[in-house]
Every structure is written in C-alpha cells, then in structure tokens.
Structure 1
Amino acid sequence: MLRLLASLYFFVFFSIIAINQSSEYIWKNWGNQAPSELGYAKQVAVNLRDVLNTVGIDNYPEKNNLNIIHINDVAWFPEQRAALNNDDVVISFDSNDNYQFFMLLNDKSTIVKLGPFAPKPNSILTKYTFKLVSFSILALLLILWLRPLWRDLEQLKIVTEQLATGKLDIETKPSRFSAISTLTQHIQRLALQTASLMQNQKQLVNAVSHELRTPLARLKFALAMLAPKDPQQVQAMNQDVVEMELLIDEMLSYARLEFSEREMTRKEVNFSELVQAQIAKTNTSSNKQISHHLEPNVFVDGNDHYLARVIQNLLQNAEKYGEQQIMIELKKDNNDKIILIVSDDGPGIPEEKRDCVFSPFTRLDSSRSKETGGFGLGLAIVTKILGWHNGKCWITDSHIKGASFHVSLPISERLKLN
C-alpha cells in the first residue's frame, strides 16, 4: 500500500511540474500575444522618435498631441537613465498593466511620452482551451499510470469469480508495471493454493464415499452371518453400523454442497406449494399435531430442490425435538421478503446458544443429541443453502413454549415489479 501511494504521489507531482513548465513556455511563445504587441508598439515609437529628430519637434504637425517632459522631471532608475542615453525606448507599466513609452530626443533633455496604452485582451476561448488541453494531458497520463493497476484488479476479480463458482483451473496474467504487482502476485498465489485445497477436498470426498462404504458393507455382511450365534450383540453392532452409514451420508451431503452452487439452476418457485408438499410428506410419518397457515402463491427465485431441503430439515428438526405439536406459518412482509416460521413445543434453545446451532456438528445438550437422531449438520446445511439464495435464518422463542425458526428470502423479481 505504501508503494502504491508513493508511486501515485510522485507520478502526479512530476506530471504537474512537467505540464506547468510546458504550458508556461507554450503560452509565452504562442498563446500570449503581449510580447509581439509590445514589440510592434516599440517599433512605432522608435520611428516617431526618428521623425522628431529629423524635422525637429517644433516643426512636427501633431506637436500639440505629444506629451513632452524634461528628463529631470522624472525620477529614473539608473538602468532606465542609461537606456535613454543609449537611444533606447523605455517601457513602464502602471498598476492596471497599462504600458507607456519614454524616448529621449537628440538634445538629451527632451522626453516624449507615449501612452498609457491598455494591452490587447487575450481571448477567453483561447485561455480556457489551453487549460482544458493541459488538464486533458494530465488525465491521459493518469490513465496510462492506472492501466496496469486496472488490469491487475480485473485479474483479481476474475480469480475470485472463478473460485466462487468452483472453477479450479485458474489462469493469471499479472502486469509487471502495476504499483500493486507484488500484492497481486501474493493474492493470485493464495488463490491457486485455495483452488488446490478445494480440488483435494473434492478428491477426498469422492475417496471417502467409496473407501468407507466398502468395508461397512463387508461388516454388515459379516454381522448377518453372526446373527444366529449372539442376536443381541449383533443387533447392537448393526445399530452402530447404521449410525456410521448415516453419519457418512450426512458428511458427504454437506461436503458436496461446497461444489453444488455452480451447478445450481434457478427459476421462479412457488414457495407456498413447496412448503405444502413438505408438510404433507412429514404428516405421513409424524405422530405430532401439525398446523399451518400459508399465504398462497408466494414466489421466490431459486432452486426448488435445495429450497425443499431447507424446509425438510426445519420440519425434521421440529419433529425430533417437539413434544406434541408443530406450527408452520408463511407470509410476506413489507420489505419484499417472504417469512417462513417453523415452531415446536420442545425444550427450546437458550438465547446465548442460538448462533452455535448453525455450525456443523453442533449439539447443545442431552435433549438435542444423537439419541434423537441427527449429527448437527441439518441446520448448517440450511444456512449454506439460504446463503446461496440471499436469505437468512434465526431463532426466537416459540409461543408454544419451544423454539421458532424464522427463514427470510427475497420474493420473486417479477412480483417486485408488480
């Protein structure tokens, strides 16, 4: 960052100096016409002095229009006095930048004064055109300085977009002339390492899926062969094997979510029908009283498969920990959001632990442990899927003495326009 600021400071500093010096030279020689104007007027004064010396001042027809003074009537600077004695024309300026000429005739005592004359005003268009050109040159130089920086920032944008969408074949083309080239190289190296880690994770998930399932299948087969000898012991071992299979399935399901977003297709989804379908599915296997109030035809933009997984996980969570009843409510708020509320009458969740339950493998206490099913990944999956859909989930106390899970999602863009 220090290198970037120093580079920008010195570039602007020296560019302004160069442009100012060039502008002053060009204005003095081409833009400002005052020197040529004075030169022309001075030549006219010299010609008049020669005429007066030739014909005599008393014989000059326009004598009455001349301003004639004695040389001693003016307090001359030494250099001005010397210039007059050398037959030079002395030019002086007043406080309004008006100029006047003084000429000494051959008698060395008579001074003819011409003026004061107002200088010819410079064209306003020329003046501002000259300024515009100067600032345009400075802007062009800044663009040349910023171009490598802009290219590096575009490279970083492409790298981050590739990582976000799961593309691991990252190619980079850093610029050697950018002020942040070192930073860019570090970030790109980090991106390549991240891509490598993601690739290794993907390979690990695939390996676990195959390598763990194979010995578990052999173990289940061996337990089936041993069942007649010790049924109770074999049954307990079978339960442990089933639990390991469920844990592996949950872990693989959660791990695969890391690579699912780039493959996810989006469309307009009738969220009301999606919730109704999941409630019907839960009703077939639940012994609890499920009541609901759903606003009809609530649409969101997203993937119906993953949104259904969110609803399913929340209903399963309420089914596990609720005692007698589950309540579901779906409505729209005033901020172009839909709100889904799933409440149960279970033990509830302490306020200080509500953020923790969305972390993977989190189980709070004995009332919410593996004995009731699950491994602490259901709500973590909910959080990840909602993140893909610009949604969020939070927990409050339920009015039926348990926990209420609130889900917020943006409504469909089509409904916003209506």
Structure 2
Amino acid sequence: MLRLFVSLYLLLIISIGAINTLSEKLWQSLNNAPSSQLIAIEQVASSLALTLNSQNVRLLSKRLELAITPQDSNDVALLSWQEQALMQREAVITIDEHDEIYAYVQPESQLYLIGPFYQETQSNIVKPLIFLISYLCLAGIIALWVWPLWRDLKSLQRASDHFSQGGQALPIPVNKRSTIAPVLTTFNTMTAQISRHIDEQRQLTNAVSHEIRTPLSRLKFTFAMLDKEHVPQLPCMRQDVVELERLVDEMLNYGRLESQHDNLHIEDVNISELATHLIDKLTRHHQVNVTRNITENIICRCDGHLIERALQNYITNALRYAQSQVTVTITQTTNRVIFHVEDDGHGIKESQRDLVFQAFTRLDKSRNKDNGGFGLGLAIVKRITQWHKGECSVDSSALNGAKFSLIIPKHLL
C-alpha cells in the first residue's frame, strides 16, 4: 500500500510540475509572437504618428472609429526605449491588464493615446485550449500508471468469477513488479487449497457412496432370507434400505454432474421442442393437468442435456407437490430465454426461498420421504444455471403455489 501511494504521489507531483512548466512556456511564446492583428495595429499607429496633429485629431478619430486622446507625458510611465521610439515618431504598442490594445504616438510634442483597438477573439480560445491539453496530458499519464494495475485487477476478477461459478482454479500469472503481486499470490494459493479440499471431499463422498452399496446389497439379501419368517418389521426395514439406495444414487449423480462443468457440450438447441418432448414424457402417468405456454422455435446456444435436466427437476418438483394444476411457460427476449414452472401446491414461505437451492435442504420435514426427495434436485438446477451464466429463483405463483424461474442467455460464450 505504501509503495502504491508513494509511486502515485511522485508521479502526480512530477507530472503536474512538468505540465505547468510546458504550458506556461507555450502561453508565453504565443503571447510574445507578433500576430497579424498587432502588426496591422502597429502599421496604423505608425501612419498616425506621421500624419496626426492637433487640427485633424477629431477628423481621423471619426474616420477610423478610434478613440484618440491627448495625454500628459508626465502622467504616463514609459520605458527609456519606448520614449526613444516616440521621439523617432514610431508607435509604441501596449496591452493593459484587461488584454486591451493601445498605441502611443507623439507626432510633435504632444503625446496621444490611440485605442482601445478591437481585440480578436482567437486569443480567448488559446488559454482554455492549453488548459484542456494539459488536463488530457495528465489524464494520459495517470492512465499509463493505472493500466498495469487495472490489467492485474481484471485478471483477478475473471479468475474469481470463473472459480465462483464452479470452475477449476486457474492460476493467475504474477509479475513480481506488480503492485498487487502479494494479493495475486495469496489468491492463487487460496484457490488451489480450496480446489484440493473440494476434490478430496468429492472423492471421499463418491468412495463412501460406492462402499455403502455393498452392505446395502447384503441387507437386501438378508431380507430376502427373512421373508419366509414373516418378520413384522421387515417392510419398514426394506423401505429404509430403498431410501438409502436412493440417497446413494442421488449423491453419485450429483458428484458426476459436478465433474461436467469443464466439459459442457455447447450447441444450438431448440428449447421449444426439447421442453415439449420432456413434458410429454414426464406427464404420461400423472393425473395433474399441465398447461403449456411455450413460444415456438426458441433457439438457444447451450448444453441441451443439462438444460433438459434442470427443466426436468423443476417440472418433477411441481408435479410432486401440485394439487391439480401445473403451468410451464417458456418465452424469449432478444438475449435471454426465460422458464417459469408454477404449481397450485402449498408454496414456499418467503423466509425460506433462499434455502431451497441449497443441497440437502428439505423445507417441509413432515413430508413423506418417498415424495420429498433429498433436496438435491434444485441444487442441481442452481449449479447448471451458474454454468450457463444465468439465474434461478422462486416466487409466489398466480396458482397460489410456488413459481420457479430460470433465466439463461441465448448465446453462451
């Protein structure tokens, strides 16, 4: 931080000093350079110095539309070279504090003041232009100083976004001269450690899930042997084993899904056809009435298999808790595809809506486990949505139940 502050402070001090010096020299050179207007004024004043006298003062003043007033030489402070020029009947040009141009001439023994002369507006533009150029130069110098910092921060942002969306930890190249080199190094170390812990946890979960299958198979074999003995608790025990098997399958499916992020199969998918076929398949053996509001020929560049999986989880969830009605709405805008799945069930409390997309979250503990699942379906939807750089949410439905929404870009980059 100290290094950053000192380098910026020194840069500003040196830059401002250099720009001020150069702009002042430029302004002085422009002011000292004789303009065409000054040359013309000097010529007019020199002519008057030769022709002006007490008899034609008023006449010349009227014709030239210039104020020509006699002056007391004792009241006018002139330099020695100016006095000599006047004695030689030359004009002396002066500019006062208001940038008004005057000329002194002394045709005889009388000193005259001619002016003010009409001032061209060009000089009024020069000063703001010099200020503008100075500010632009300062902005350019600061931009050159900020550019390496902005580049490193942009790399950090891209890596953070990629990692937060479930991608692999991509190490950021670190330049030792970078002002945020320690931050980048710490970020690389942190993401590497987190990725390693996630991989270890995933491997452990998969290993445990596979290992559980063996004792479950033994239990099922034992239940088959006990079936003839008519054990009263046998149906409940079988149900528990089936539930454990379903949990293992869902955990393995979730683990396999996590590994697909870096292997997305992106292609142009007809979402309208995909959704229509999916609804036909899911509602074939359901008594719930499903209303479809699907715009025709919605083409989206995405992973069709994963989007179908997310929509399937939405519709399956709605069919599970709906009383009699489910509505599936799919529309599009210029850049997005929007999915809505609504049901007329009991809905979800507003205080619990942030929890439904978390893994292993079941809001209603009293639901039958055969119908309720293990809380991984909506977590899978959230993960797929993140991979497609979209968003998912839940709200109240016009059917008095829950309304699940999914929005993804039409063209995934």
Q: CA 1:349/1:11 → structure 2, altered by over 3 Å: closer, same or farther?
A: same
Residue pairs, 1:342-357, within 5 angstroms: 342-344=342-344, 346-357=345-356
Match of residue 102 from structure 2: 98
Match of residue 186 from structure 1: 183
What SS does the aligned partner of 1:315 have?
helix
Distance 1:350 1:315 in 2: 19
Q: CA 1:391/1:266 → structure 2, altered by over 3 Å: closer, same or farther?
A: farther
Match of residue 401 from structure 2: 403
- Measured after TM superposition, the shift of residue 166 of structure 1 is 1.8
2:362 paired with 1:363? yes
| Aligned residue type for 2:380 | I
| Aligned residue type for 1:221 | R
- Measured after TM superposition, the shift of residue 238 of structure 1 is 4.8
Residue pairs, 1:218-257, within 5 angstroms: 218-221=215-218, 224-225=221-222, 227-228=224-225, 232=231, 236-257=236-257
- Measured after TM superposition, the shift of residue 201 of structure 1 is 0.7
Q: Deviations over 1:87-128 (max 9, x none)?
A: 8999784643435489xxxxxxx9786976979989869958
2:207 paired with 1:207? no
Distance 2:2 2:368 in 1: 53
Match of residue 32 from structure 2: 32
| Aligned residue type for 2:381 | V
- Measured after TM superposition, the shift of residue 205 of structure 1 is 0.9
Match of residue 44 from structure 2: none
Match of residue 321 from structure 1: 321
The percentage of aligned residue pairs carrying the same residue is 27
Match of residue 176 from structure 1: 177
Match of residue 375 from structure 1: 374
| Aligned residue type for 1:194 | T
- Measured after TM superposition, the shift of residue 264 of structure 1 is 1.7
Q: CA 1:256/1:137 → structure 2, altered by over 3 Å: closer, same or farther?
A: same
Q: CA 1:296/1:332 → structure 2, altered by over 3 Å: closer, same or farther?
A: closer
Distance 1:126 1:326 in 2: 74
- Measured after TM superposition, the shift of residue 197 of structure 1 is 0.7
Q: CA 1:215/1:334 → structure 2, altered by over 3 Å: closer, same or farther?
A: closer
Q: CA 1:119/1:22 → structure 2, altered by over 3 Å: closer, same or farther?
A: farther
| Aligned residue type for 1:198 | S
Distance 2:358 2:294 in 1: 31
Q: Deviations over 1:57-82 (max 9, x none)?
A: xxxxx998699xxxx954369x969x
Distance 1:133 1:290 in 2: 71
Q: Deviations over 1:291-331 (max 9, x none)?
A: 433546342412221122123222322343345x3433335
Q: What TM-score comes out, normalization by structure 2 length?
A: 0.67
Match of residue 331 from structure 2: 332
- Measured after TM superposition, the shift of residue 378 of structure 1 is 1.5
- Preserved contact between residue 268 and residue 299 of structure 1 (Cα < 8 Å): no
- Preserved contact between residue 363 and residue 369 of structure 1 (Cα < 8 Å): no
Distance 1:405 1:120 in 2: 74
| Aligned residue type for 1:263 | N
Q: CA 1:367/1:187 → structure 2, altered by over 3 Å: closer, same or farther?
A: same
- Preserved contact between residue 299 and residue 411 of structure 1 (Cα < 8 Å): no
- Preserved contact between residue 209 and residue 252 of structure 1 (Cα < 8 Å): yes
Distance 2:50 2:290 in 1: 118
2:274 paired with 1:274? yes
Match of residue 49 from structure 1: none
- Preserved contact between residue 152 and residue 175 of structure 1 (Cα < 8 Å): no
Match of residue 167 from structure 2: 166
What SS does the aligned partner of 1:356 have?
coil
- Preserved contact between residue 66 and residue 113 of structure 1 (Cα < 8 Å): no
- Preserved contact between residue 338 and residue 409 of structure 1 (Cα < 8 Å): yes
| Aligned residue type for 1:313 | N
Distance 2:304 2:187 in 1: 35
Aligned pairs, number? 373
What SS does the aligned partner of 1:357 have?
coil
- Preserved contact between residue 292 and residue 327 of structure 2 (Cα < 8 Å): yes
Q: Deviations over 1:15-37 (max 9, x none)?
A: 233212233235435873259xx
2:296 paired with 1:297? yes
- Preserved contact between residue 159 and residue 191 of structure 1 (Cα < 8 Å): no
- Measured after TM superposition, the shift of residue 377 of structure 1 is 1.8
- Preserved contact between residue 298 and residue 338 of structure 1 (Cα < 8 Å): no
What SS does the aligned partner of 1:202 have?
helix
What SS does the aligned partner of 1:363 have?
coil
Residue pairs, 1:146-165, within 5 angstroms: 146-160=146-160, 162-163=162-163, 164=165
- Measured after TM superposition, the shift of residue 343 of structure 1 is 2.0
Distance 1:338 1:158 in 2: 26
Distance 1:395 1:162 in 2: 28
Q: Deviations over 1:131-173 (max 9, x none)?
A: 6765564344233322322332333244335534723241322
What SS does the aligned partner of 1:361 have?
coil
- Measured after TM superposition, the shift of residue 225 of structure 1 is 4.7
Match of residue 262 from structure 1: 262
- Measured after TM superposition, the shift of residue 374 of structure 1 is 0.7
Distance 2:309 2:221 in 1: 34
- Preserved contact between residue 327 and residue 342 of structure 2 (Cα < 8 Å): yes
Structure (1 or 2) with the larger CA radius of gyration: 1
Gap runs ≥5 in structure 2: 39-48, 55-70
